Amino acid sequence: MATTISAKIPDELRKKARMHHIKISQVVRKAIESEVKKIEEKSLSRDLDKIGPILRKNVSSGEISKAVRSSRDER
């Protein structure tokens, strides 16, 4: 399912986009996808910063190494 959005841009910009055969919907879609990805990555990074110290206290480096190796072997 998809949702339609609209945005106002200056007439001159629309004319230039058409002149250069720019598909505005694709540009907007990619820009939104990129922004969402960036925000999600920042959020994940903050979450990892919060749980990192907790994990270091409760999980040994040997266990982490085993988990990483196991994960790599599964690929």
Nearest Cα residue to 27 out of 43, 11, 42, 5: 5
**17 is in which domain, residue-wise?**
12-74
Structural domain contains residue 2: no
pTM over 0.75: no
pLDDT by residue for the chain (75 residues), tens only, comes to: 989 999 999 999 999 999 999 999 999 999 999 999 999 999 998 988 888 888 777 777 787 778 778 877 776
Structural domain contains residue 1: no
Model pLDDT, residue 51: 84
Model pLDDT, residue 66: 82
DSSP state of 44: H
Structural domain contains residue 30: yes
How many domains, in total, are found in the chain?
1
Model pLDDT, residue 57: 78
Give the span between the Cα atoms of 53 and 59, in whole angstroms: 10
Model pLDDT, residue 36: 97
Structural domain contains residue 6: no
Model pLDDT, residue 75: 65
